[in-house]
Structure 1
Amino acid sequence: MTRRQIHLAAHFPGVNNTTVWTDPAAGSQIDFSSFEHFARTAERGLFDYLFLAEGLRLREHRGRLHDLDVAGRPNTLAILTALAAVTEHIGLVGTLNTTFNEPYELARQLGTLDLLSNGRAGWNAVTSSDAFHGANFRRGGYLDHADRYVRASEFAEISKALWSSWRDDAIEADAETGAFLRAGAIARVRHASRLFDVDAVFDVPRSPQGRPVIVQAGDSADGRDFATAHADVIFSLHTEFADAQQFYRDVKGRLAAHGREEDSLKILPAATFVLGDTADEARERSREIALAQVRPQTAITYLEQIWNRDLSGYDPDGPLPDVEPDTGVETAQGFAGRHAAIRARVGKLREQAAAENLSIRELVIRLTANHTFVGTPEHVASEIDRYVQERATDGFTVVGHVTPHGLDEFADRVVPLLQERGSYRRSYDEGATLHDLLGLPAVRERVTAP
């Protein structure tokens, strides 16, 4: 029986508490050499693509920069463009917002990257509706929360129309005059709604893959509907096996309504890993890494975002706060006005801490630093393969805990074992696009030029 092939993406770390900056091996999150090393490692490991997260504003907590944030965040498209020049095969995916960008300009930027990289570009389409991020654009709170996926869906529709508006034979070479554009080879794209009014003739030719791959990370009902209508990949948080299988069935089951097949959408959950020569060594390493990822102040900060109170007087290694949360104003986690929801969440946290006898720090570790795969390389490879063969996922987005060397050990010790199982490629096919690497069907959407 033919084995299902594993798809792997590589997540460049740095914008959450996964990254351990105190590790002696930690490097810069802004030097190009870090991005280059990471990209070359991912390409050496034959990954489908590397993935850059991006935030539109440095996070704040109690009037100060958030404990888990980093101050340096170079522009995603600039980094990916530079990486296109030092890699040959790997896909290049960036997180770019549908709320505070405009379809034509973003489609033009991504289309340019896709063209210049010979079809290796991808777009992680994310939404925002909160005033905190909007303040950077003088649009604070201008988009209703309910409209975030309405705008995202229209944004994707317009972008795909622009990318597909060139005929494949639009440009013809001429020995005397040079390349010229065939008459009627580009279709005009029109879209009028309460959110957008676009009347455009696109100026970027099609890439070898037709258009950039679209990745999506939302998990709400609207997010899942957006993914099944527009996305090629879902970056999910469902990593527990049974939960992952349920998510897989739900999302893949929605595809038929859009005329799509199971393999037209790949599900690649985020996955952390800790390796050891023995199971015991791996578990001990996991414990040490988790303690470094969730420092005492990190644990208190995490709870303060939920309680919306100053909890600095509580011992991180002691029990959960005995005070009730302040539900009167919006918190950093976005629970504005939802008093019952906040109290319900706090109640569940208290129940979990009591049932497992967890301190504040231990609880936060359990919630944010519970590593997906812990064990020998053989065990980790076996588990990754099991998830894919039994249709819990199509693969994983691998997240290391050190910048930029967090992927090295996985590429060196786990990838060869996946290859031995016959579940993972041994080389890149020459000229393969990101669509090809992911095993996606050919791009079908086309706009017929007059």
Structure 2
Amino acid sequence: MTRAHAAGRQIILGAHFPGVNNTTVWSDPASGSHIAFESFRRFAQSAERGFFDFLFLAEGLRLREQRGVIHDLDVVGRPDTLPVLSGLAAVTAHLGLAGTINATYNEPYEVARQFATLDHLSAGRAAWNVVTTSDAFTGENFRRAGYLPHDQRYSRAQEFLDVARLFWDSWPDPRIEPGRVSYTGTQFDVAGYPGVPRPPQGHPVIFQAGDSAAGRDFAARNADAVFTRHGTPEAGRAFYADVKSRAQAHGRDPENLKVLPGVTFVIGDTDEDARERAAAIRAQQVSGQTAILLLEHVWNRDLSGYDPDGPLPDIEPDLSETTVFQGRARQIDDRAAEAARLRALAREKNLTLRQTVIETQSRQTFVGSPETVAEALIDAVGTRVCDGFILVPHITPAGLEPFVERVVPLLQERGALRTEYPANATLRDLLGLPYPGEAPA
């Protein structure tokens, strides 16, 4: 018996409709539209059939570019989050609906009204993933192009959320007149009345996905859940302990901040079968062109003249601040060191350029038979790597179905996942979160 099962810890499950990224295998015949509502419906209903807690949508306010042209992974488009979630509210009954909306390029009243509306339409299933950007490239699509200094991202986000909460709280009962909101700060000067009564959850569930020190502190102070990339046991436990301690320092119960890494999975009849499937999927995810584009993030140079099936570039990375890519966060702190590491790996294993990228940038988090994957998920939650997972399949919209059909029953047998939804449960109820204004238990 695992510690997770012994402790009775339930696994939180979210389903990430992946959108445009290098996880999706576009060439697979099972890969469907990322725009048609039918894809969203099928994906959401699969998650609900598997007793998941919520569906998660990311956001892209501008198509990414590399060397001045649209990145291939973005050309399918990015549908707007809230209309999709509103449509899904009508074809699901229990599943939480989490959407990413930027606090830099929107206004508090507008977003507060939109999420209050979604919460009413869905009977208390709305969640808002609060993100920020100081990216002038993204800002060119808005009248505030590039106006926000990097160090003000979270100060604006904090005021944004504070004002939104004022609007949610100012009309507690539709039988009485709404209260007036008045707020003056460094980012906002707002005065008016809410357009929608208080949401059924009080406030929608708040997600946050930033990993910087400022992002972690913002989450510890404000968020109900953190969407993190730290999925390995060692990195996961360190992140888990850090944000939980930060939450406690803000006077919160750490158990009311859920840590949910985004993870990928491959399921096979046996562990060996799953490993073979995983290797084939990684090869499909990284075409020769994609390998070049991803490696340009390390070299910060135009590498289009290099052969993906040849050796790594023989030139050194450009270490200047100017980058060849736009609209994507920089994730490499030391380009020279990373290039040296990749060269050493390529020499050691006799890898081509493309093979090196596959080896280092394409990994599935959980690979194995249904039994192996189920036990690994249970153990991660039981040993405080996280509180649950946001699953990102490599096929849309059908990619979640093998997990639902083969892993979910095992989680239920082991007491790690519900076998039915509670009647009339909101997303806060599903996640075990308090309602705003509730006294601590």
One-letter code aligned to 1:213: V
Query: Any conservation in 2 of the 1:160–1:445 contact (CA below 8 Å)?
Result: no
Matched, 1:244 2:247: no
Q: Secondary structure at the match of 2:13?
A: strand
**Is the CA contact 1:306–1:333 (under 8 Å) kept in the aligned structure 2?**
no
Distance 1:155 1:141 in 2: 18
Q: Helix, strand or coil for the counterpart of 1:408?
A: helix
| Conservation of the 8 A alpha-carbon contact between 2:64 and 2:326 | no
Matching of residues 80-229 of structure 1 within 5 Å:
80-167=85-172, 170-172=173-175, 182-183=176-177, 186-229=178-221
Partners of 1:398 and 1:51 lie apart in 2 by: 9
Specify the alignment match of 1:233 in structure 2.
Answer: 225
Relative to structure 1, is the Cα distance of residues 367 and 158 closer, same or farther in structure 2, using a 3 angstrom cutoff?
Answer: farther
Give the structure 2 partner of residue 406 of structure 1.
399
The separation in 1 between residues aligned to 2:163 and 2:313, in whole angstroms, is 49
- Are 2:346 and 1:343 equivalent residues in the alignment? no
Structure 1 contact 270–396 (Cα < 8 Å) conserved: yes
1:306-345 pair list within 5 angstroms: 306-331=298-323, 332=325, 341-345=334-338
The structural deviation recorded for 1:445 is 7.8
- Paired with 1:336 and 1:96, the residues of 2 have a C-alpha distance of 17
1:422 aligns with 2:415: yes
1:251 CA displacement: 0.7
Instruction: Note the residue ranges of structure 2 that are not aligned, 5 or more in a row.
Output: 1-5
Structure 2 counterpart of 1:298? 290
Q: Secondary structure at the match of 2:229?
A: coil
Residues 232 and 264 of structure 1 are in contact (CA less than 8 Å); yes or no, is this contact kept in structure 2?
yes
Quote the offset at 1:15 in angstroms: 1.4
- Counterpart for residue 179 of structure 1: none
| Misfit runs of 4+, over 6 Å | 333-340
C-alpha spacing 1:352/1:165, structure 2 compared with 1 (3 Å) = farther
In structure 2, the partner of 1:433 is: 426
Secondary structure, counterpart of 1:171 in structure 2: coil
User: Are 1:8 and 2:13 an aligned pair?
Assistant: yes
What does residue 32 of structure 2 align with?
Answer: 27
- Give unpaired runs (5+ residues) of structure 1: 173-181
1:176 corresponding residue in structure 2: none
1:41-92 superposed Cα distances (whole Å, 9 cap, x missing partner)? 0100111100111100111112221022233222110000011011100000
**Matching residue's letter, 1:98:** A
Cα distance in 2 for partners of 1:336, 1:399 equals 19
Native 8 Å contact 1:305 1:333 kept in 2: no
| Deviations, residues 87-133 of structure 1 (Å, cap 9, x unaligned) | 10000011110110111111111111111111100111111111110
- How far apart are the structure 2 equivalents of 1:336 and 1:286? 27
Once the 2 structures are TM-superposed, how far is the Cα of residue 364 of structure 1 from its aligned partner? 2.1
Deviation at 1:256, TM superposition (A): 1.3
Equivalent pair of 1:48/1:438 in contact (CA under 8 Å): yes
Per-residue deviation, 1:150: 1.2
Equivalent pair of 1:15/1:53 in contact (CA under 8 Å): no
Quick one: which of 245, 256, 267 aligns to 1:264? 256
CA distance in 2, matches of 1:357, 1:391: 38
Q: TM-score, normalised by structure 2?
A: 0.93
User: One-letter code of the match for 1:343?
Assistant: A
* Matched positions, count: 433
Distance 1:406 1:231, change over 3 A: same
CA distance in 2 between counterparts of 1:368 and 1:96 reads 27
| Corresponding residue for residue 74 of structure 2 | 69
Q: CA deviation at 1:225?
A: 0.3
SS in 1 for 2:182: strand
Q: Deviations over 1:293-335 (max 9, x none)?
A: 1111101011123322121222323332121122345212789
1:230–1:358 CA distance, 2 compared to 1 (3 A):
farther
SS in structure 1 at match of 2:282:
helix
Q: Distance in 1 between matches of 2:253 and 2:333?
A: 40
Pick closer, same or farther for the CA change 1:386–1:65 going to 2, 3 Å. Answer: same
Distance 2:438 2:189 in 1: 21
Q: CA deviation at 1:338?
A: 12
Percent of residue pairs bearing the same amino acid type: 57
Asked whether the 8 Å contact 2:137–2:327 carries over to 1, the reply is: no
Give the 3-state SS of the residue equivalent to 2:367 in structure 1.
strand
Instruction: For residue 336 of structure 1, report the CA deviation from its aligned partner.
Output: 11
Q: What SS is found at the alignment partner of 1:235? A: strand
3-state SS of 1:147 partner: helix
With over 3 angstroms needed to count, the CA separation of the structure-2 counterparts of 1:26 and 1:250, relative to structure 1, is: same
Compared CA separation, residues 155 and 366, structure 1 to 2 (3 A): farther
Aligned 8 A contact 1:269 1:397 in 2: yes
Distance 1:224 1:355, change over 3 A: farther
CA distance change for structure 1 residues 164 and 409 in 2, over 3 Å: closer, same or farther?
A: same
Is this contact kept in 2: 1:127–1:148, CA < 8 A? Answer: yes
Q: TM-score, normalised by structure 1?
A: 0.92
Give the counterpart letter for 2:184 in structure 1: A
**AA of the residue aligned to 2:133:** S
Quick check: 1:104–1:162 contact (8 Å CA) kept in 2? yes
2-structure distance, mates of 1:97, 1:336? 15
Q: Which residue of 2 aligns with 1:385?
A: 378
